[in-house]
Amino acid sequence: MTRFLRRKRLTTRLSAYGICVRDGKILLARWIHGESPLWSLPGGGVDFGEDPWDAVVREVAEETGYDFEADTLLGIDSLHREGTFHGVRVFYEGRVVGGELRHEANGSTDMAAWFDLTELDSLPVSDLVGPGLALAKARPATGHTD
């Protein structure tokens, strides 16, 4: 009898996200995920050969219309799902230096908006908003929070 071994497909995804806060408001992009869209930090996958800093600048522009200047590397968060997915998420703090707010067309997000930081608890947000804001608040020398 021949045995077939099924191997789990293991996936690692490197992504970069921008945290932009001004006047007590944070810039978020609405991620289209299944039937329930989630508000998320603008950003996304780093292309093969691309530097994460370049990726966050590109991704923020794609998802929000803004020119983003990443000026501080806040840290890295690691996420594991179902034993087969490993997400490595790089967070940068920065500011808008140009462009105009607009919604992304034909992408993984469908709109962008500024929200008061006090509104975050009442919004459906993705699981990367918490770690990103924790890094922004703590600014750990190691670039890692528990």
Write the pLDDT tens digit of every residue in 44-69. 999 999 999 999 999 999 999 999 99
Burial 53-62 (b: 16+ CB within 10 A, else e): eebbbbbbbb
Query: Measured between alpha carbons, how far is 48 from 50 in angstroms, rounded to an integer?
Result: 6
pLDDT at 129: 95
- Fold topology of 11-138: Nucleoside Triphosphate Pyrophosphohydrolase (3.90.79)
Across residues 76-86, what is the average pLDDT?
90
Contacts of 50 by beta carbon, 8 Å cutoff, 6+ apart: 58
Between 40-49, 76-85, 120-129, the lowest mean confidence (pLDDT) is in 76-85
> Rounded CA gap, 23 and 96, in Å?
12
114: left (phi over 0), alpha (psi -120 to 50) or beta: beta
Q: What is the mean pLDDT of the chain?
A: 92
The pLDDT score that the predictor gives to residue 126 is: 94
8 Å CB contact between 19 and 136? yes
- Token code pair at residue 83: 């034993």
Check residue 1 and give its pLDDT.
45
Strands (DSSP E) found in the chain: 11-19, 21-22, 25-31, 38-40, 43-45, 66-81, 85-99, 109-116
Instruction: Domain ranges for the chain, please list them.
Output: 11-138
Q: What pTM does this model have? A: 0.90
Rounded mean pLDDT of 116-143?
Answer: 95
pLDDT tens for each residue of 106-127: 888 999 999 999 999 999 999 9
